[in-house]
Amino acid sequence: MPRQRSIEDFSSDELRRLLVEKRRAEREARLSAYRKTGRVIRLVTDEPEGEPSPQENLIENEDEPITIRQRARTRRKTGMDRFLFAVEIVAILGLFFIILNGVNLLRNLNKEFSSALAQPDPTPTALITAVVLPSGHTPPVEGVEVRPNDAEIPEHLRPLMQSYADLPIPTQSAQQARQIQIPAIGVNAPVVLGDGWEQLKKGVAQHLGTANPGETGNLVVSAHNDIFGELFKDLDKLQPGDEVVIITQDRSFTYTITGTQIVEPTRVDLMAPTAEKTLTMISCYPYRVDNKRIVVTAVLQQD
């Protein structure tokens, strides 16, 4: 049996060869194990046998400490992770901003919609339709044109009255007065809507906004006493109990005279609405003087 040689018996070249063979055997063992598990795909190359391939060298390097290249890859991966994390943070902040902005926009739209639906607080408006009682005009004098008596209107209200006179007259409805009959003084005249200068030329005029015949409230009509037919010339001859018939398109209503009074042209309170079904007839007075008004009131007869 040959004697085992100790390490001191080997020369340095022999030791180096043994170390290379040992490493090669270990590498072959690892390669064999990798091939069995499918971790190595052997390629057909012209490499001489016995020389390690690049794949084998790569596998050998797996057991070695992390190289400079691996550290660079790790740093690049860490940098990319940080960048992606920053992008996620920015995206979350952007989404939060969009949601917050949408909520504020919705709140503003709700406020604007509520404001549009809210009714404004009512404020008092000057009544320019009742400065003086209707039918006022200058006294008729031969050779002088008769015109509205602007002197009755306070000077600061004259522009307002002029603007009211320019307003269009609405279309007369079936419920409004069409004819007036006063048998006691022989009046049988048409009734027009509106009591401006032009309307009073056509007949008896109903003041805009007053009650219709038969309705609760004050039906106010007026006519001239000494021009344009002198329709209301004899209003002062009416007595309590006399009748006035107001005719609409569909029916007639009979009012009974209750009283007469002579007033200043500024007594517009006499045209105010009433809680009853009343009629108020107005004309200038006295005859051909026209510095006052005669006002005759009546109440609807119950059926």
Name the pLDDT band for 31 (thresholds 50, 70, 90).
confident
Reported as half-sphere exposure (CB side, CA atoms, 13 A), residue 229 has a value of 17
CA distance 163 to 87: 70
* pLDDT score for 58: 46
* pLDDT score for 62: 46
Model pTM above 0.85 = no
pLDDT over 70 (residue 279): yes
pLDDT over 90 (residue 270): yes
Name the pLDDT band for 119 (thresholds 50, 70, 90).
low
- Which tops the pLDDT comparison, 293 or 1? 293
CA distance 7 to 276: 142
* pLDDT score for 52: 53
pLDDT over 60 (residue 64): no
CA distance 69 to 141: 124
Report in angstroms the alpha-carbon separations of 289 from 93, 135, 140, 155: 88, 13, 8, 22
Residue type, 185: I
Name the pLDDT band for 131 (thresholds 50, 70, 90).
confident
pLDDT over 50 (residue 92): yes
Question: What value does the mean pLDDT take over residues 80-94?
Answer: 87
* pLDDT score for 278: 97
pLDDT over 50 (residue 296): yes
- Which tops the pLDDT comparison, 108 or 254? 254
* pLDDT score for 128: 43
Domains in the chain: boundaries: 9-63, 150-154+175-300
Lowest-confidence region among 151-165, 170-184, 226-240 = 151-165
* pLDDT score for 35: 76
Angle value at C-alpha 16, between 14 and 21, nearest 5 degrees: 95
CATH architecture of 150-154+175-300: Beta Barrel (2.40)
CA distance 138 to 110: 60
Percent of the chain with pLDDT over 90: 40
pLDDT digits (tens, 9 = 90+) for 202-236: 999 999 989 999 999 999 999 999 999 999 999 99
Tell me whether strands 252-263 and 277-285 are parallel, antiparallel or unpaired: unpaired
* pLDDT score for 125: 43
Question: What value does the mean pLDDT take over residues 46-71?
Answer: 52
